[in-house]
């Protein structure tokens, strides 16, 4: 048997699957090792809101029994995983990082949680996040901030900082996050792991607590691209309960990982080398371009002029949708009600006042203003028109290129607290990721270098339904470099 110590928790999910398949380790041993790791470092990292130890061990025993009966199927069978705490889990508290949902236990699983469970994955717990997924640092959680495993004085990115930090700190093998404007890819970059936002509609949003319904997409975090491909194969597929779910057959995304990108044409959008990009990030990006050329890809600079408008479009559309989605939390139908007040109006006012944090209130106000009479045409309607132009610009570009390559984040992980009082600086963290959500495209961030002893992310963007393409390019780059093998010292 393999020693189920701390070194066991640091391997990839597919390496762990090989150990399970060969009988060198059991799922129970694997899960116990992860739970021990969680107990050891959670006080420093705080990647979890809820750890479901007993449920996890029960699921691990069931996975071992299924394997013994020859019924263990799928790449995640018996593998300990984490899901972001805005994904509904039957019988387990789901908070979305907010006081508004204190005491809420869903009576059903999100689609992706169903897929995990049916595939034999062992859900260890729920990952921390910025409240209602609104943030870029995981400092806006009602349950305390998550810290970056590379340097606990720094943020892990957001809003899916808990699931990203959990994978980076060996507290799970893979995890699920949601990405509305970069909330998977940006924390993946800052934590030195892989994070993928699939094509909009490829993964069902059923059971995801909504932020921006036309932007949200669920995707995987992992330690390498193969694990991301395996996980996407598990969670993708048509779901009639989500009206935006694409009616496409199940795919084996792992088959896309050929390792060969010779002859592929990659565009390098000049607008993504934004003002304020750190010199170390730019240097790492330029080195990555040399690596891609060495693999036989043809690189060519391309212009996407509307990139500069994407941030403004996002911060009209996303808050507008958030304002509409969060209106349901009134203390009557939904929300942790404040009842010790005189009138029904007071119940609604105080429920929202005490239930929502400052960042959520800020975005609700922005959205309510953009949707209000007299301003709808000037802001929301205009933003949707520009969104169409951004989609068309990407589509025209992909007529000539297989994929685009950009930095993921203009900076490495910043110090905790540095941007809490400067929302504009915080919003600029997502300047390289937001256009992808505006257009509904697939994109992946992989480790692409080191700057100031901190990880740098490299982003690949593909056309609609080009998820296999971005996985293929990312995998080839990963196999030609060693960045994904570097680990935080925690």
Which candidate in 26, 27, 47, 84 is catalytic? Answer: 84
Q: Residue 181 is encoded by which pair of tokens?
A: 């404007």
Residue 248 DSSP SS3: coil
Sort 68 into a burial class: Cβ within 10 Å, 0-12 / 13-18 / 19+.
Answer: exposed
d(Cα 280, Cα 451) in Å, to the nearest integer?
5
Q: Does 183 qualify as catalytic in the annotation?
A: yes
- Closest listed residue to residue 178, CA positions, set 276, 111, 240: 111
Q: Is the peptide bond before 453 cis (omega within 30 degrees of 0)?
A: no
d(Cα 288, Cα 473) in Å, to the nearest integer?
12
**What angle, rounded to 10 degrees, do the helices at 467-479 and 225-235 form?**
160
Q: Does 236 qualify as catalytic in the annotation?
A: no
d(Cα 336, Cα 3) in Å, to the nearest integer?
45
Q: For residue 294, give every residue at least 6 positions away whose Cβ sits within 8 Å of its Cβ, in sequence order, or none.
A: 480
Q: How many CA atoms lie within 13 A of 447 on its CB side?
A: 27
Query: CA 209, 211, 217, 218: dihedral to nearest 10 degrees?
Result: -40
Which candidate in 47, 98, 178, 183 is catalytic? Answer: 183
d(Cα 100, Cα 338) in Å, to the nearest integer?
10
For the beta carbon of residue 44, count every other beta carbon within 10 angstroms. Answer: 12
d(Cα 355, Cα 353) in Å, to the nearest integer?
6
d(Cα 257, Cα 227) in Å, to the nearest integer?
11
d(Cα 396, Cα 302) in Å, to the nearest integer?
11
Residue 364 DSSP SS3: helix
Q: Residue 175 is encoded by which pair of tokens?
A: 């995890």
H or E, element range at 85: none
Distances (CA, A) of 381 to 40, 317, 393, 435: 50, 9, 19, 18
Which candidate in 47, 88, 137, 159 is catalytic? Answer: 159
**Are the C-beta atoms of residues 180 and 210 closer than 8 Å to each other?**
no
Of how many residues is the chain composed? Answer: 490
Residues with catalytic roles? 84, 159, 183
């Amino acid at each position: 048997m393999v020693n189920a110590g701390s070194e066991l928790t640091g391997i990839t999910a597919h390496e762990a699957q090989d150990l399970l398949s060969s009988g060198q380790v059991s799922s129970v041993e694997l899960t116990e090792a992860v739970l021990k790791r969680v107990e050891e470092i959670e006080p420093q990292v705080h990647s979890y809101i809820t750890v479901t130890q007993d449920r996890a061990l029960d699921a691990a025993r069931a996975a071992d029994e299924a394997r013994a009966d020859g019924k263990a199927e799928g790449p995640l069978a018996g593998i300990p995983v984490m899901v972001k705490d805005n994904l509904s889990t039957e019988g387990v508290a789901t908070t979305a990082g907010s006081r508004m949902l204190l005491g809420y236990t869903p009576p059903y699983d999100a689609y992706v949680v169903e897929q995990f469970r049916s595939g034999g994955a062992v859900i260890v717990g729920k990952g921390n996040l910025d409240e209602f997924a609104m943030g870029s640092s995981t400092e806006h959680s009602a349950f305390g901030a998550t810290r970056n495993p590379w340097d606990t004085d720094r943020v892990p990115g957001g809003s899916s900082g808990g699931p990203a930090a959990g994978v980076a700190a060996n507290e799970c093998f893979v995890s699920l996050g949601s990405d509305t404007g970069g909330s998977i890819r940006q924390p993946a970059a800052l934590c030195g792991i892989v994070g993928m936002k699939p094509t909009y509609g490829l993964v069902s949003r059923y059971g995801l607590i909504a932020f921006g319904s036309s932007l949200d997409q669920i995707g995987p975090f992992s330690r390498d691209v193969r694990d991301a491909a395996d996980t996407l194969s598990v969670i993708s597929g048509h779901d009639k309960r989500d009206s935006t779910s694409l009616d496409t057959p199940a795919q084996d995304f792992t088959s896309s990982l050929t390792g060969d990108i010779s002859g592929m044409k990659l565009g390098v959008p000049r607008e993504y080398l934004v003002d304020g990009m750190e010199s170390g990030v730019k240097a790492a990006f330029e080195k990555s371009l040399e690596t891609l050329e060495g693999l036989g890809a043809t690189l060519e600079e391309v212009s996407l002029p509307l990139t500069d408008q994407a941030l403004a479009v996002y911060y009209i559309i996303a808050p507008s949708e958030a304002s509409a989605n969060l209106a349901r939390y009134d203390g009557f139908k939904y929300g942790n009600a404040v009842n010790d007040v005189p009138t029904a109006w007071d119940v609604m006012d105080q429920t929202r006042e005490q239930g929502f944090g400052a960042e959520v209130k800020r975005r609700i106000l922005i959205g309510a203003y953009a949707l209000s009479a007299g301003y709808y045409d000037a802001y929301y309607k205009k933003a949707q028109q520009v969104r169409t132009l951004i989609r068309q610009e990407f589509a025209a570009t992909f007529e000539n290129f297989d994929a685009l390559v950009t930095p993921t984040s203009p900076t490495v992980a910043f110090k905790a607290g540095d941007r809490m009082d400067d929302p504009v600086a915080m919003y600029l963290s997502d300047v390289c990721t937001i256009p992808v959500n505006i257009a509904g495209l697939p994109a992946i961030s992989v480790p692409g270098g080191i700057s100031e002893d901190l990880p740098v992310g490299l982003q690949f963007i593909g056309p609609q339904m080009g998820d296999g393409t971005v996985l293929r390019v990312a995998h080839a780059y990963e196999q030609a470099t060693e960045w994904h093998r570097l680990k935080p010292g925690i």
